[in-house]
């Protein structure tokens, strides 16, 4: 439902918030404070603010829900400062520590704050009152700056409606506002989209060596790092005639190809061809689309299994605990999970796509620049990289999706 909150002490601001009827008063207050541009006022209302309706203070404390307080659709409340220091009568004045505790107890609100203001969420998680207050001031200052910039652009346009530069700035401000509203709506309706998705791994054996294979239908070839190839005793079988470069958003050297190696899935053995890359990755072995097609595999997410059609066997996908969080979400730079898009050709004449090399001293900035070159804004790119644990390929897919 929609509730409007008037804040007389903040230039009579009127703030409309979409909330659930089970939302607590404390959560409503936190949402309102994020929209106020006066940092000092935010701090005062955060510790001594109380809600008033029809001239009467709403009793019962911050844990009371809107429904239990009799607040309904399109109701108007007033958020005012308790000048008396938050006496026991109001029941809503709490310390900064108390406010952080309330936020920690509300998973939905924390999910929203974590997506929009990660620094503020980190301060709440650490129970750092000083950092929390500093971040609140930053958030409110940023809100104030956006409003001030929009007012300046509007004033320019009003003075000269035909000023192309002013119109361009207003258009950009409106675009950013629409993006912000779109993100807020997504956080409310599909918060799971802002979490990290654990990737698909299965237990296999290559030439008798147990491996955790990353199942990637977006990788055109099944690939392995040269270190893993040595460990599996396959180095002597690498055909260097298939050496070349794998090109995509980055460049990586292909040192050759193992034309056939024994792959054990469940209790069955199947032949597999492997392209060997020079660069060391977090992932040793990627089970790509070439072998998925060759063995008529199906990724069954409902049952959480990989079905090997050629053998009639099934492999359960591994849990995060079985694989390890860092490996599963590519938190160590993300290059390991990038995919190869074209098969290699002999004698250095390949047109493949592969993981970015990320070998310079500033790999993160390089990833940002490459994705921005595709037509996306810097902040969009940064948000996409953060959402995918730094994985450039998945960030690109997220942006295009």
CATH code for position 394: 1.10.8
340 and 395 co-located in one domain: no
Q: What is the pLDDT of residue 345?
A: 43
Name the H helices within 233-362.
289-294, 320-323, 325-329
Q: What secondary structure does DSSP assign to 339-376, as a single string?
A: ---S---TTT---B-------SS-HHHHHHHHHHTTT-
Q: How far apart are CA 244 and CA 240, in angstroms?
A: 9
Q: Which two tokens stand for residue 154?
A: 């509007």
For residues 245-272, give the mean pLDDT: 82
On average, the pLDDT of the chain sits at: 75
CATH number at residue 23: 3.10.20.90
259 and 270 co-located in one domain: yes
> Which structural domain range is residue 102 located in?
2-193
Say how far residue 198 (Cα) sits from the centre of its chain. 12
Give tens-digit pLDDT for 292-346: 999 999 999 999 999 999 888 999 999 888 887 545 444 333 343 344 434 444 4
- For residue 254, which phi and psi values (nearest 5 degrees)? -95, 125
Q: What is the pLDDT of residue 347?
A: 41
78 and 124 co-located in one domain: yes
211 and 161 co-located in one domain: no
270 and 160 co-located in one domain: no
Per the structure, the count of domains in the chain is: 3
**pLDDT at residue 205 above 90?**
yes
329 and 378 co-located in one domain: no
26 and 165 co-located in one domain: yes
Percent of the chain whose predicted confidence (pLDDT) is above 90: 15
Measured over the CA atoms of residue 326, residue 332, residue 335 and residue 336, the dihedral's sign is: negative
CATH number at residue 334: 2.40.70.10
| 214 or 191, higher pLDDT | 214
Residue where a domain terminates, one of 140, 159, 193: 193
Active site residues: 216
Q: How far apart are CA 128 and CA 147, in angstroms?
A: 29
217 and 333 co-located in one domain: yes
Nearest of 325, 378, 388, 383 to residue 356 by alpha carbon: 388
Q: How far apart are CA 233 and CA 216, in angstroms?
A: 24
Q: What is the pLDDT of residue 75?
A: 77
- Tell me which range, 168-172, 183-187, 204-208, is most confidently predicted by mean pLDDT: 204-208
Q: How far apart are CA 90 and CA 56, in angstroms?
A: 10
Q: What is the pLDDT of residue 319?
A: 87
Single pTM value for the model: 0.48
Q: What is the pLDDT of residue 387?
A: 67
* 359-394: burial string, b at 16+ Cβ within 10 Å, e else: eeeebeebbbebbeeeebeeebbbbbbebbbbbbbb
Q: pLDDT grade, residue 114 (50/70/90)?
A: confident
For residues 266-285, give the mean pLDDT: 83
- Cite the beta strand spans of 217-287 per DSSP E: 223-225, 244-247, 251-265, 268-277, 285-287
311 and 390 co-located in one domain: no
260 and 137 co-located in one domain: no
Cross-strand pairs, 201:
214
181 and 248 co-located in one domain: no
Give tens-digit pLDDT for 236-247: 999 999 888 766
Q: What is the pLDDT of residue 92?
A: 39
**pLDDT at residue 20 above 50?**
yes
Other residues' Cβ atoms within 10 Å of the Cβ of residue 173: 17
284 and 183 co-located in one domain: no
């Amino acid at each position: 439902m929609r509730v409007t909150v008037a804040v007389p002490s903040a230039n009579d601001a009127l703030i409309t918030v979409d909330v659930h009827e089970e939302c607590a008063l404390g959560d409503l207050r936190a949402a309102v404070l994020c929209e106020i541009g006066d940092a000092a006022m935010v701090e005062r209302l955060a510790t001594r603010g109380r809600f008033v309706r029809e001239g009467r203070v709403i009793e019962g404390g911050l844990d009371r829900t809107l429904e239990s307080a009799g607040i309904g659709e399109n109701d108007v409340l007033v958020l005012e400062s308790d000048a008396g220091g938050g006496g026991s009568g109001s029941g809503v004045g709490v310390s900064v520590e108390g406010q952080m505790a309330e936020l920690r107890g509300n998973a939905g609100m924390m999910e929203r704050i974590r997506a929009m203001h990660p620094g503020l969420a980190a301060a709440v998680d650490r129970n750092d009152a000083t950092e929390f207050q500093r971040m609140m001031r930053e958030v409110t200052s940023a809100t104030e700056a956006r409003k001030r910039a929009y007012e300046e652009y509007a004033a320019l346009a009003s003075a000269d409606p035909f000023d192309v530069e002013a119109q361009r700035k207003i258009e950009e401000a409106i675009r950013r506002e629409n993006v912000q509203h779109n993100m807020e709506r997504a956080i409310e309706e599909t918060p799971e989209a802002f979490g990290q998705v654990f990737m698909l791994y299965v237990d296999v054996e290559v030439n008798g060596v147990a491996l955790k294979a990353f199942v990637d239908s977006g990788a055109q070839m099944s690939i392995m790092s040269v270190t893993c190839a040595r460990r599996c005793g396959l180095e002597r079988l690498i055909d260097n005639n298939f050496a070349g470069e794998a090109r995509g958003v980055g460049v990586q050297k292909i040192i050759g190809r193992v034309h056939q190696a024994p792959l054990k899935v469940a209790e069955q053995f199947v032949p597999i061809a492997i392209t060997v890359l020079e660069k060391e990755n977090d992932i040793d072995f990627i089970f790509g689309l070439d072998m998925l097609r060759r063995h008529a595999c199906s990724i069954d997410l409902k049952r959480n299994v990989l079905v090997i059609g050629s053998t009639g066997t099934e492999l359960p996908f591994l849990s995060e605990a079985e694989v390890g969080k860092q490996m599963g979400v590519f938190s160590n730079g993300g290059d390991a999970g990038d995919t190869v898009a074209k098969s290699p050709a002999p004698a250095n004449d390949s047109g493949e796509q592969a993981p970015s090399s990320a070998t310079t001293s500033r790999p993160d900035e390089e990833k940002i620049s490459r994705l921005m070159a595709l037509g996306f804004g810097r902040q969009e790119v940064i948000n996409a990289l953060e959402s995918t644990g730094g994985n450039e390929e998945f960030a690109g897919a997220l942006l295009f999706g």
